[in-house]
Amino acid sequence: MYNNISSYRSRVRNKNVITTEEEQLLYDPQTSGGLLIIVPQSQVDAFLTKLSDQGESGYVIGKVLEKDEVPIITKNTF
């Protein structure tokens, strides 16, 4: 995990203060890759409904914005 932190920390800006535990979760190899689905904003509600109809859960966790000075910006809502 510490390799992930040292490799990516300069590419992430946290909009508010996060705890060490929250930072570790953000960079944990178990939570990176393969877990996200990107859906056009206009199709989010229909997609979540389809998931629910099939007994699955889905959550909107972010949105794609125009490029900023760093590629990833977090906003803590824990």
CA distance 64 to 38: 9
Query: CA distances (Å), 78 to each of 17, 36, 64, in order?
Result: 12, 18, 20
Tens digit of each residue's pLDDT (9 = 90 or more) over 8-27? 888 888 888 888 888 888 88
Query: CA distances (Å), 74 to each of 45, 53, 71, in order?
Result: 23, 30, 10
Q: pLDDT below 50 — which residues of the chain?
A: 34
- Count of structural domains, the chain: 1
Find the DSSP H helices in 1-78.
2-8, 20-27, 44-53
Q: Please say whether the beta carbons of 4 and 27 come within 8 A.
A: yes
- The residue range of the domain holding 57 is 2-74
> Which pair of structure tokens corresponds to residue 30?
């178990």
pTM metric for this prediction: 0.50
